[in-house]
Structure 1
């Protein structure tokens, strides 16, 4: 079966950038973020870009919302596209399969890229597990690669799978604050997210796993290395609306996941979920590529890092220098 690939042809003198998505995602994480769903394909990515809503009229009848969802997300892919870079990404056939399966696909992608863009220097950009896919590939082949850039990649592993069994209390908590007509959806989403957290793909990324013990890559002279991590766990906010005079005003009711983890014992909460230490999926410490020429810790979560201006500007600087 052919891989599902997206290609943008830019300027002939510009490098080629291959994007590698993370666990449980697809190419639309990069190419069409307004239409893709993440976290076990349950939640539209665009809700994580929602901004605090403005006051509304009484006629709107608003009761509970997530905020104002944007009509456009200017992420790293679109920024590089607009700058004339050549871009390529694909949807992994088994997005929750073993890392080595994605590594084999990356090899296939790079071979295809060589025929489509035979003279361009190559940069790999990996988000989350995608950065590890790139590193594993580069253990044995760095031909033509001029830069490796990782975004929120767990270079020291992620302990998030440990919390999977602890999510059941969250269902009761959410049902206590959300309307009854949402309860079935809440249960389904939590079940799917729990399955993802307890699945073999995330366990492969646990610190000290066989994958990390077997990882044998090393820095290569002439290749530029850049990494980014986040320290913000907040993904989205639920607002309730209260009347003040002739208008309705939003008030934060529930911050996800910060409000939810408050019902869990502190002893089981991993650093990935602690504000200032993690981005919801990966700790800031783990996101540091060991031999990065530069690393940036930013006030972003695991998703918003893809449209952060500092990320975009620093990546463009590296690519322009290739």
Structure 2
């Protein structure tokens, strides 16, 4: 394996999506029908077309993401759901006849990778029907994604008839949905729940300057394209972040509209700007302690394992002589960096690392607020976020 490949595997998740979902012949046929109706291949749903008038949860992902952030968050977030709150424990590499090489770093790692279950599995347990898709222009102009959403809503109407829709949206997906609600005369949406949506902008909006090199990089470097386009069905036609800049014309027009009557709005903001820690691994000083008393014991173990025909890797490092010494190799992590360090932009100082708390909460009197201790990525899959999603869907279902 090349060094580049090793680095990629340490930083990102490289595998096929893994998840389960409720299905039946009727559900499968409806899923096939809506994809054919809209000339797509990516739409997935657990909705039964016979459940006319029931609630349907529509999930809308954020910038540069895909539908997998709801079904397989590890893949959907490129492997960046990390256990940054806990440092890894030292690793015992067993007993050896010689000490390890001193002072030289052995490895560099990020925080432990987490593989949380998607919210769709939780909804399946509670028999809540849902629908997901991957935006064709996840990096591009928000207006293109709004047009795509309008077509999707027409497809839902054509295949599933009248459904009462609750939208759960992350980040840019919330901007898409709110603009859709503001600009569409007749809508089936009754509730919008947004997580980390930059209603009043984000400093990431200033990344427009990197449009051309980023577009080429995302489309042409196979290893990178594999990360954001898991199914190899999408192409980056354009990269547009200027609409998410604070005080952009798009956001000014969006916020002039306020909340649409007849639609409930819920805003969720995160307060953790940490995504991962970076660790250097060194041998613990105790690894050089001669333990003569252990040599006889470990030599005896070596001989027993050899006699039993155990694999070589289980005994080759143990002392060959019971009268020398033994060394217990212990690898210890040292945190050298946190991403992001708490400095600079308010998105980092008072937000989820991408959107500040203030900018993620839609400033209208009728909006319901939640604030969680999550970063921007965790907002799609943390325990608290999923509890909020489930609670808000069930609350609306009782009305």
- Interval containing the TM-score (normalised by the shorter chain): 0.7 to 0.9
Relative to structure 2, which stretch is displaced further, 206-215 or 238-247?
238-247
The C-alpha deviation readout for 1:161-201, integer Å capped at 9, x for no partner, is 447889xxxxxxxxxxxxxxxxxx9xx9xxxxxxxxxx862
Q: Aligned match of 1:87 in 103, 114, 130?
A: 130
Distance 1:163 1:222 in 2: 36
Confirm whether residue 300 of structure 1 aligns to residue 366 of structure 2: no
Per the TM alignment, residue 79 of structure 1 is displaced from its structure 2 partner at its CA by 2.1
Distance 2:111 2:202 in 1: 30
Per the TM alignment, residue 119 of structure 1 is displaced from its structure 2 partner at its CA by 4.2
Aligned to 1:33: 73
Q: Aligned match of 2:89 in 44, 54, 65?
A: 54
Aligned to 1:147: 191
Distance 1:163 1:100 in 2: 18
The structure with more strand, counted as a fraction of residues: 1
Structure 1 residues 119 and 59: CA distance shift in structure 2, 3 A: farther
Per the TM alignment, residue 110 of structure 1 is displaced from its structure 2 partner at its CA by 1.2
Confirm whether residue 129 of structure 1 aligns to residue 172 of structure 2: yes
Aligned to 2:107: 63
Per the TM alignment, residue 47 of structure 1 is displaced from its structure 2 partner at its CA by 4.8
Superposed CA RMSD: 3.1
Which secondary structure does the structure 1 equivalent of 2:64 belong to?
Answer: coil
Q: Aligned match of 2:341 in 258, 264, 282?
A: 258
Confirm whether residue 288 of structure 1 aligns to residue 361 of structure 2: yes
Q: Is the 8 A contact 1:14 1:84 kept in 2?
A: no
Distance 2:207 2:259 in 1: 33
Structure 1 residues 6 and 29: CA distance shift in structure 2, 3 A: same
Distance 1:115 1:54 in 2: 54
Q: Is the 8 A contact 1:48 1:303 kept in 2?
A: no
Confirm whether residue 242 of structure 1 aligns to residue 282 of structure 2: yes
The C-alpha deviation readout for 1:125-154, integer Å capped at 9, x for no partner, is 110010000000001335221110000000
Aligned to 1:120: 163
Unaligned runs of 5+ in 1: 39-43, 167-184, 189-198, 262-268
Q: Is the 8 A contact 2:73 2:81 kept in 1?
A: no
TM-score (norm 1): 0.76
Q: Is the 8 A contact 2:171 2:197 kept in 1?
A: yes
Distance 2:90 2:139 in 1: 41
TM-score (norm 2): 0.62
Structure 1 residues 137 and 235: CA distance shift in structure 2, 3 A: same
Relative to structure 2, which stretch is displaced further, 7-16 or 26-35?
7-16
Q: Aligned match of 1:157 in 167, 191, 201?
A: 201
Q: Is the 8 A contact 1:233 1:257 kept in 2?
A: yes
Aligned to 1:9: 47
Which secondary structure does the structure 2 equivalent of 1:116 belong to?
Answer: helix
Distance 1:140 1:49 in 2: 40
Confirm whether residue 272 of structure 1 aligns to residue 316 of structure 2: no
Relative to structure 2, which stretch is displaced further, 288-297 or 232-241?
288-297
The C-alpha deviation readout for 1:226-265, integer Å capped at 9, x for no partner, is 1111111111111222333442232222111218x6xxxx
Confirm whether residue 111 of structure 1 aligns to residue 150 of structure 2: no
Which secondary structure does the structure 2 equivalent of 1:201 belong to?
Answer: coil
Q: Aligned match of 2:247 in 208, 214, 218?
A: 208
Q: Is the 8 A contact 2:208 2:240 kept in 1?
A: no
Q: Is the 8 A contact 1:155 1:288 kept in 2?
A: yes
